[in-house]
Amino acid sequence: MKWVSVLLLILISSFSFLMISNEKEFDNSTFEFGEYCTYEGIIMENPYPRILIERPGDTGSLPKYSQYYLTQFGKFGGGEMVKGLDGKKVSLEGALIYRDDQTMIEIKNNSVNHDHTSENERVFNFDSALPKKSLGIHTLKGEIVDSKCFYGVMNPGNLKVHKACAINCIRGGMPPVFVVKDQQGNIGYYLLQDEEGGAVNKNILDKIAEPLEIKGEVVKQGNILILKANPTSYRNI
Amino acid sequence: MSHSYQAVGWNRQKKIYDLVILIGVFLYIGIFMGIGSTLFPNATAETLMIRAFGTGAFVLLHIILLIGPLSRRFPSLFPLLYNRRHLGVTMFLMALVHGAFSIIQFHAFGDLNPIISVFVSNGEYNSLTQFPFQALGFLALMILFVMAATSHDFWLANLTAPVWKALHMLVYVAYALICIHVVLGVFQSGVSSVYHAMLGVGFAMIVGSHIIAGLQEKEKDKELNSDKNEEGYIKVCKVSEIPEKCAHIATLTGERVAVFNFDGKIAALSNVCQHQNGPLGEGKIVDGYVTCPWHGFQYRPEDGASPEPFTEKVPTFKVKVIDDVVWVHPTPNPPGTHQEPVVVEKK
Ligand code: HEM
Ligand code: FES
């Protein structure tokens, strides 16, 4: 009896090891959950809310501003929290989410501060601060992810296991990103917009986490690549 | 219910089983998450937790479904069968942790009610590869919940045995739902082929063992109508073929009868225990009572009645012994009817 029990427990342990050791490798992504820092920068509300933070000193070939997508707690983009602040200077507290060179901030509740002095009320000129440059029409193969989970809040944050969650997040206003892997496994990140540069969230809910081909214009704005195409032209492959 | 004879050894054993189950669960989850976070530092704790409990519950479900057919083959496994109920409840609780964490992780803190989100966030019910697999897991979890909640004897008595049994046959529906949940879920995200192989083997073992057990039952059920004497008695077997204090099971006009040999006497009872339809003929005579191998309900061989204060009764059958051959009349006496056991003449 005693030995049968011990044998059983050894079997269970070995089986558990067998199960976990055959998992596939998990990608590197980070969410600094609960570690709040203060960020100061300019809000860009459309089409997806971001904060632009000036890089210190001479930036050389790098863009003058680094860009962080904004989100709030849960499956919502940060739009509600920065409403009406387009082009305004704010300070906010938040936790960082990042993967490769892609960054996002989860804003802490009630931490967005906007100082109504006259200097701050001057509306910012995005086109001169972050000029857009067209890189031409391209056809890309990849998968639509919700940036928050894929950049670090969940791991894995893509493919079938994560599909329902990604749909919830994108419906809630999270910036949708088209993820394109090359042969070496390097990832290209393309922020999805329609042909007029508007948000596409509501029009792509049935296309998320599926193998897709998208043909559209690629535009570079600072360190962000944008893929502009009509969502009805996205093709399942 | 008659538990008197097993009060000492049996309860101690039962406690050991429960302890082994508990330690087993802790080991499985602990190793899965501990080794997992070392081998895969990028994986989030939530993902490891969801996978540890999901796979743990699924493996346990395989074990539970295998115990039935296997213990037919290997009677030494019967003790596991008694404890299947606790295994079942443990499995449900593990599946519940898996499901609850998945619902929180993937469906809560959004603009929909999390339960509704399980069914509608991904609406691609007409696609195979994109099918909302979590909805299937949810349905399976509901079935497991109903089973766990009604596993107590109170429900068996109140729902009546046939209803209860039908309810608990739903476990096969749940098993099928979970297999599809895994194949259309995590398998669509590209997993190691080791998992494909394991599910294949598990599924084959369950289907295979049930088919084999079913065939054996059929074999046993071959009716013994060939040798019928003029009074309607049917020839069953030789006395010497029945081990002392054990039974031979025969099927007479559709009903299984357990023919016991004890203390130089032969008595025949229905093979079906009043508790959960356990096979009385696979039990033994303990302290003068026919004792069900599943949970130890007891019946007097003379009249099929449980000893006071219990009230369960099974039908008895008329027996004759002629030249060392046992003949049984296929018409059952009403449950609890006294039927004097036949004394076998010593040669
Ligand atoms: C409310 C009910 C359920 C929900 C919402 C649910 C959700 C999920 C999700 C999201 C995954 C993929 C997780 C991942 O790998 O990242 C998964 C996988 C899995 N589920 Fe469920 N599930 C439910 C019920 C069940 C039940 C009842 C069982 C079996 C006892 C089960 C067994 C599994 C197994 C074995 C896997 C594959 C391993 C894994 O990926 O975790 N699930 N489930
Ligand atoms: S004692 Fe439970 S089935 Fe017989």
Same domain? For B62 and B126 the reply is: yes
Whether B253 has a pLDDT exceeding 80, the answer reads no
CB-CB neighbors (< 8 A) of B55 in chain A: 19
Give CA–CA dist B190/B174, Å, rounded.
Answer: 24
Whether B7 has a pLDDT exceeding 90, the answer reads no
Tokens linked to B158: 């109140």
Same domain? For B191 and B337 the reply is: no
Could you tell me if B35 lies within 8 Å of chain A, comparing CB atoms?
yes
Q: Give the pocket of ligand 2 (CB within 6 Å).
A: B 273, 275-276, 278, 292, 294-297
DSSP B121: T
Q: Chain A interface, mutation test: which of B42, B105, B136, most A Cβ atoms within 10 Å?
A: B42
CB-CB neighbors (< 8 A) of A19 in chain B: 32, 55, 59
Find the range with the poorest average confidence among A94-103, A192-201, B220-229.
Answer: B220-229
Measure CB to CB from residue B24 to each of A9, A24, A27 and give the nearest one. A9
Reported as a pLDDT band with limits 50, 70 and 90, residue A58 is confident
* Alpha-carbon separation of residue A135 from A58, A177, A221, A226, A228 (angstroms): 26, 18, 11, 10, 11
What are the strands, taking DSSP E only, across A79-160? Answer: 89-99, 102-107, 113-114, 132-146
Whether residue A12 and residue B27 make contact (CB cut-off 8 A), yes or no, is: yes
- What is the per-residue pLDDT across B46-63, written as a single tens digit (0 to 9) for each? 999 999 999 999 999 999
Measure CB to CB from residue B110 to each of A23, A172, A210 and give the nearest one. A172
CB-CB neighbors (< 8 A) of B20 in chain A: 5, 8-9
Give CA–CA dist B241/B325, Å, rounded.
Answer: 10
Reported as a pLDDT band with limits 50, 70 and 90, residue B17 is confident
The mean of the pLDDT values for chain B is: 88
In the beta sheet, which residues pair with residue A213? Answer: A141, A235
Same domain? For B171 and B286 the reply is: no
In a domain, B331, yes or no: yes
Same domain? For B192 and B91 the reply is: yes
In the beta sheet, which residues pair with residue A163? Answer: none
Same domain? For B256 and B208 the reply is: no
The predicted structure's pLDDT at residue A30: 93
Cβ atoms of B87 and B59 closer than 8 Å: no
In a domain, B228, yes or no: no
- What is the per-residue pLDDT across A155-169, written as a single tens digit (0 to 9) for each? 999 999 999 999 999
The pairing of beta strand B246-252 with beta strand B342-343? unpaired
Same domain? For B80 and B158 the reply is: yes
Give CA–CA dist B207/B210, Å, rounded.
Answer: 5
**Residue type at position B211:** I
The crossing angle, in degrees rounded to 10, of helices B9-39 and B84-107 is 30
The ipTM, to two decimals, is: 0.93
- What's the CA angle centered on B338, arms B329 and B257, to 5 degrees? 40
Q: Output the DSSP codes for B52-119.
A: HHHHHHHHHHHHHHHHHHHHHH-GGGHHHHHTHHHHHHHHHHHHHHHHHHHHHHHHSSSSS-HHHHHH
Give CA–CA dist A114/A111, Å, rounded.
Answer: 10
Reported as a pLDDT band with limits 50, 70 and 90, residue B346 is low
Tokens linked to A218: 């690629």
Whether residue B107 and residue A164 make contact (CB cut-off 8 A), yes or no, is: yes
In a domain, B1, yes or no: no
Whether B5 has a pLDDT exceeding 60, the answer reads no
CB-CB neighbors (< 8 A) of A75 in chain B: 109-111
Give CA–CA dist B5/A14, Å, rounded.
Answer: 38
Q: Helix H segments across chain A?
A: 2-21, 118-121, 126-129, 147-148, 163-171
The predicted structure's pLDDT at residue B225: 58
Reported as a pLDDT band with limits 50, 70 and 90, residue B154 is confident
- What is the per-residue pLDDT across A98-157, written as a single tens digit (0 to 9) for each? 999 999 999 999 999 987 776 666 778 898 889 999 999 999 999 999 999 999 999 999
The mean of the pLDDT values for chain A is: 93
**Residue type at position A151:** Y
Short-list A17, A52, A222, CA closest to A131: A222
Taking domain A29-129, whether its CATH number is 2.40.50.140 is answered by yes
Question: Which atom of ligand 2 is the closest one to the Cα of B273?
Answer: 4
Q: Chain B interface, mutation test: which of A17, A18, A161, most B Cβ atoms within 10 Å?
A: A161
Same domain? For B214 and B242 the reply is: no
Cβ atoms of A179 and A157 closer than 8 Å: no
Phi-psi region of B160 (alpha: psi -120 to 50; beta: other; left: phi over 0): left
**Domain tally, chain B:** 2
Same domain? For B45 and B123 the reply is: yes
Could you tell me if B132 lies within 8 Å of chain A, comparing CB atoms?
yes
**A132-236 shares the fold of A29-129:** yes
Whether B227 has a pLDDT exceeding 90, the answer reads no
Domain limits for position B324: 234-343
Ligand approaching nearest to the C-alpha of B182: 1
In a domain, B229, yes or no: no
| Minimal CA separation from B192 to chain A, in Å | 6
Share of chain B above pLDDT 70, in %: 92
Same domain? For B190 and B54 the reply is: yes
Whether residue B47 and residue A154 make contact (CB cut-off 8 A), yes or no, is: yes
**Fold topology of A132-236:** OB fold (Dihydrolipoamide Acetyltransferase, E2P) (2.40.50)
- What is the per-residue pLDDT across B19-44, written as a single tens digit (0 to 9) for each? 999 999 999 999 999 999 999 999 99
Cβ atoms of A52 and A130 closer than 8 Å: yes
Whether A91 has a pLDDT exceeding 90, the answer reads yes
Give CA–CA dist B216/A86, Å, rounded.
Answer: 76
Closest chain B residue to the Cα of A19, Cα to Cα: B32
Same domain? For B136 and B255 the reply is: no
Whether residue B43 and residue A23 make contact (CB cut-off 8 A), yes or no, is: yes
The predicted structure's pLDDT at residue B345: 72
In the beta sheet, which residues pair with residue B249? Answer: B258
Tokens linked to B32: 């899965």
Share of chain A above pLDDT 70, in %: 98
Q: Where are the domains of chain A?
A: 29-129, 132-236
Could you tell me if B172 lies within 8 Å of chain A, comparing CB atoms?
no
| Minimal CA separation from A29 to chain B, in Å | 7
The predicted structure's pLDDT at residue B1: 40
In a domain, B6, yes or no: no
In a domain, B73, yes or no: yes
Could you tell me if B39 lies within 8 Å of chain A, comparing CB atoms?
yes
- What is the per-residue pLDDT across B276-332, written as a single tens digit (0 to 9) for each? 788 899 889 989 999 998 788 899 999 999 998 888 999 999 999 988 899 999 889
Give CA–CA dist B305/B181, Å, rounded.
Answer: 47
Whether residue A160 and residue B23 make contact (CB cut-off 8 A), yes or no, is: no
